[in-house]
Amino acid sequence: MSVTPAPAADEPYLRVRDLRVQFPTEDGLVRAVDGVSFSVRRGQTLGIVGESGSGKSVTSMSILGLHNAARTKISGEISIGGRDIVGMDDEKIREMRGQDMAMVFQDPLSALHPYYKVGVQIAEAYKVHHPQASKAEANKRAVEMLDRVGIPQPERRAKQYPHEFSGGMRQRAMIAMALVNDPALLIADEPTTALDVTVQAQILDLLEDLQREFNSAIIVITHDLGVVAQIADDVLVMYAGRAIETGSVEQVMRSPQHPYTWGLLASVPSLHGDAEIDLVPIKGNPPSLINLPTGCAFNPRCRYAGLNGNRSFVEVPELRPAGQDGHHVACHLSGADRRRIYLEDIAHAGVAQ
Amino acid sequence: MTDLVDAAAGSAAAPVADREPLLKVENLTKYFPVRSGAFGAHAVVRAVDGVSFEVRPGETLGLVGESGCGKTTTGRMLVRLLEPSGGKIIFEGRDITRAKGRKLRALRQDMQIIFQDPYASLNPRHTVGRIVAMPLQVNGINPPGGVKKRVQELLETVGLNPEHYNRYPHEFSGGQRQRIGIARALALNPKIIIADEPVSALDVSIQAQVINLLRQLQRDLDLAFVFIAHDLAIVRHFCERVAVMYLGKIVEIGTRAQIYENPAHPYTRALLSAVPDVTKLGPAGRIKLEGDVPSPINPPSGCVFRTRCWKAQEKCATEVPPLTIKPNGSVAACHFPEQGELF
């Protein structure tokens, strides 16, 4: 624990420790996030990778304090700029939301209000945190932001409705709205999944430019390993609500250690290499979060479960150092086994080649 | 123009070049009428605007492009789910553009489609057995050994448990449902399958399972495929030949090697360089395209790509570039084609 309450300059802006998010349902307790820890400094980008149901979006909603307290059990620590928001009063979180942390959603058409002009919506977001600002000031600020995110003719565009914007323009408007109060932490949940590749490239470039300009901490949540490779500094791979591998982007992409990460890399086709080689898919389906497999949650889909006695079936693996500094993996395989299997089975397939 | 496409198709797919084309599309168009403007003036969306290509037996052709480029509309016209506004579709030498009734039904035995959304394309009230048996039933086919036996064979072929015959679609995951859709498409032993974004609704780890299945079926059954997708890496993995579409037109068509290693059309280059690639860490040196795809109601004059092209000159605004064979061997519509290896 740090002794000083206010974080020093090199302290991470966001620190999540042992986060657990559970939803009681009629069918049983859904453990959507089960003991995840990570941190992000200002100017850094963390990529969170996982499939549907891995808990990546639930994690981001917790950081924004968007879960309904009556229906959700949250424990652990989410420290944003030195303040822990777990259990914090709704009103206080609302004061922070937008100003300290903001979110860019996947689908801008459903995240923008269809009934209000785009400029009005951005100005409203500004006025929430600047109640003394006049309407004219807020509108001016909205137009500035639209200009900053690369929307041509921002004055005219601010007076249009979301349906008059193309998909890429809407996502730019979403980013403008998220950044209008200069938040230090920006969470982008699948920000480019709904977009075409050429527009995706524009949005990713924009996020990088804005990060350089505002020195923000960014979390990008995605299932696309290519997006992670391009913009992330650090990577967190999630499976069934747990972190199974973390490290720098080089470590995780170039010397992945967990069989699930291998599976992701070997099952995505590449633009390079031999196109005739078959992909190596991960067998089976992601597990139900109500009824997780005992031991390692990945064991029913893992081709190497059982190489280490029956530990995979009885013991939940903890994140442990995986060789290089800062690289951690939650797997029962020994380091030697992992190196051997990676070279023999994985290194030639999909984007891993 | 078609001759050139034929010539390139021949050089592009050497192993199957001696076989007659199974499917030939000539100058296919689809215009949708829309109302626009304050007084409801009539206008048309040129969704598909003069597309020509051919597919030989056992060949895989990929149709790629961004949303709104007309790839799905083209696929739907091929199986006649949409009526073409103009042009010709020739299947095994017969013009099927206006086929109706019994003739169309017979045709669909040879041509099947796999849809993008495995949640919307299966009837939730029917059992899997009934869904997969439907094509047999509609065509009055009684396979040797009975319908049930055939359906169970099909389920086994696509990697599902034949005992799940009596289950309903909601009992299956997305990947399994897509397998049911594939089993249904295979029921009549088609010669060609139109696959419209067959894996884009699935999780990454499941995509590879379905892609491997489709590749195996393609090899084992010598099926021809028109594979429609926006994911360029998946198309590269699955298709021998690739056609790149932009605003309702094919801008470049060629072999996998021509398109992915040495493309001639600036748009193909821009599209490929925009794909975030795991093999490159950090910001990539990309070709940046400005703005969005123009409206297909009012496409630019001359070359449709000129408004976003960094090489555009006066000629591009006045003259529509014809599809011609370029130095790399592909067929592309560009006045100033690119040359040299892409990566």
**Considering the domain boundaries, does residue A147 fall inside one?**
yes
Q: Are A229 and A49 in contact (CB under 8 A)?
A: no
Residues of chain B with Cβ-Cβ distance to A249 below 8 Å are 281
A267 and B208 within 8 Å at the Cβ level: the answer is yes
Residues of chain A with Cβ-Cβ distance to B297 below 8 Å are none
A217 plus A264 within the same structural domain: no
A268 and B203 within 8 Å at the Cβ level: the answer is no
**Considering the domain boundaries, does residue A240 fall inside one?**
no
**Considering the domain boundaries, does residue A244 fall inside one?**
no
At A1, the pLDDT band (50, 70, 90 cuts) reads very low
**Considering the domain boundaries, does residue A6 fall inside one?**
no
Pairwise CA distance, residues B336 & B324, whole Å: 12
Pairwise CA distance, residues B47 & B31, whole Å: 6
Question: What pLDDT score does A5 carry?
Answer: 46
List, in sequence order, the alpha helices (H) in chain B: 2-12, 71-78, 101-110, 128-138, 147-157, 174-186, 204-221, 232-238, 256-261, 266-274, 314-318
Closest CA to A229 of A351, A350, A345, A342: A351
Q: In Å, what is the CA distance from A130 to each residue of A104, A136, A245, B32, B306?
A: 21, 13, 41, 48, 44
**Considering the domain boundaries, does residue A237 fall inside one?**
no
Q: What is the CATH number of the domain that holds A225?
A: 3.40.50.300
A351 and B278 within 8 Å at the Cβ level: the answer is yes
HSE (side-chain half, CA atoms, 13 Å) at B204? 27
A278 plus A317 within the same structural domain: yes
Q: CA triplet B99, B81, B8: central angle to 5 degrees? A: 80
Pairwise CA distance, residues A182 & A40, whole Å: 17
Pairwise CA distance, residues A251 & B185, whole Å: 43
At A270, the pLDDT band (50, 70, 90 cuts) reads confident
A196 and B237 within 8 Å at the Cβ level: the answer is no
**Residue-wise pLDDT tens digits, A183-238:** 999 999 988 887 888 888 888 988 998 899 889 999 999 988 889 999 999 999 99
Q: Say yes or no: A173 contacts chain B, CB-CB below 8 A.
A: no
A226 plus A77 within the same structural domain: yes
A127/chain B closest Cα distance in angstroms = 30
Percent of chain A exceeding pLDDT 90 equals 54
A32/chain B closest Cα distance in angstroms = 18
A257 plus A191 within the same structural domain: no
A201 plus A344 within the same structural domain: no
List, in sequence order, the alpha helices (H) in chain A: 56-63, 90-96, 108-111, 118-129, 135-148, 154-158, 167-179, 197-214, 225-231, 249-254, 259-266, 311-314, 335-341
Mean pLDDT of successive 10-residue stretches along chain B, which has 343 residues: 46 52 95 74 86 95 91 93 94 90 87 89 93 92 90 92 91 90 94 93 85 93 94 93 95 95 94 84 75 84 92 93 93 92 73
Q: CA triplet A152, A192, A177: central angle to 5 degrees? A: 50
**Considering the domain boundaries, does residue A114 fall inside one?**
yes
A149 plus A210 within the same structural domain: yes
**Considering the domain boundaries, does residue A242 fall inside one?**
no
Closest CA to B242 of B267, B221, B219, B222: B267
Q: For residue A210, what are the domain limits?
A: 14-232
Kindly write down the DSSP assignment for every residue of A75-134, as one continuous string: EEEEEETTEE-TT--HHHHHHHBTTTEEEE-S-HHHHS-TTS-HHHHHHHHHHHH-TTS-
Is the confidence at residue A8, as pLDDT, over 60? no
Q: Say yes or no: A198 contacts chain B, CB-CB below 8 A.
A: yes
Q: Is the ipTM of this complex over 0.90?
A: no
Closest CA to A216 of A182, A248, A177, A180: A182
Q: Tokens in use for B62?
A: 């990929």
Q: Are B302 and B320 in contact (CB under 8 A)?
A: yes
Question: What pLDDT score does B12 carry?
Answer: 42
HSE (side-chain half, CA atoms, 13 Å) at B258? 24
The contacts of residue B215 (CB under 8 Å, 6+ apart) are A278, B238
A337 plus A223 within the same structural domain: no
Q: For A297-318, what is the mean pLDDT?
A: 89
HSE (side-chain half, CA atoms, 13 Å) at B50? 9
| Between residues A242 and B296, the one the model is more confident about | A242
**Considering the domain boundaries, does residue A211 fall inside one?**
yes
Q: Say yes or no: A286 contacts chain B, CB-CB below 8 A.
A: yes
Pairwise CA distance, residues B6 & A26, whole Å: 61
The residue from A164, A197, A232 where one domain ends is A232
What angle, 0 to 180 degrees and rounded to 10, lies between the N-to-C axes of helices B128-138 and B147-157?
120
Question: What pLDDT score does B334 carry?
Answer: 95
Q: Quick one: closest CA in A to B267, which residue?
A: A198
Between chain A and chain B, the number of residue pairs with CB atoms below 8 A apart is 136
Question: What pLDDT score does B191 carry?
Answer: 95
Is the confidence at residue A117, as pLDDT, over 70? yes
The residue from A185, A201, A232 where one domain ends is A232
Pairwise CA distance, residues B336 & A268, whole Å: 34
Q: CA triplet B282, B284, B290: central angle to 5 degrees? A: 130
A205 plus A310 within the same structural domain: no
**Residue-wise pLDDT tens digits, A27-79:** 889 999 999 999 999 999 999 998 888 898 899 999 999 988 888 999 999 99
B77/chain A closest Cα distance in angstroms = 23
The residue from A203, A232, A261 where one domain ends is A232
A213 plus A299 within the same structural domain: no
Question: What pLDDT score does B154 carry?
Answer: 94
Question: What pLDDT score does B76 carry?
Answer: 93
Q: Calculate the average pLDDT of chain A.
A: 89
Q: Are B63 and B227 in contact (CB under 8 A)?
A: yes
A20 plus A65 within the same structural domain: yes
Total domains in chain A come to: 2
With helix as H, strand as E and coil as C, how does B41-84 read? EEEEEEEEEEEEEEECCCCEEEEECCCCCCHHHHHHHHCCCCCC
B260 and A271 within 8 Å at the Cβ level: the answer is yes
Kindly write down the DSSP assignment for every residue of B19-33, as one continuous string: SPPSEEEEEEEEEEE
A139 plus A34 within the same structural domain: yes
Question: What pLDDT score does A349 carry?
Answer: 73
Q: Which of B204, B279, B284 sits opposite A223 (nearest CB)?
A: B204
Is the confidence at residue A15, as pLDDT, over 70? yes
A228 plus A255 within the same structural domain: no
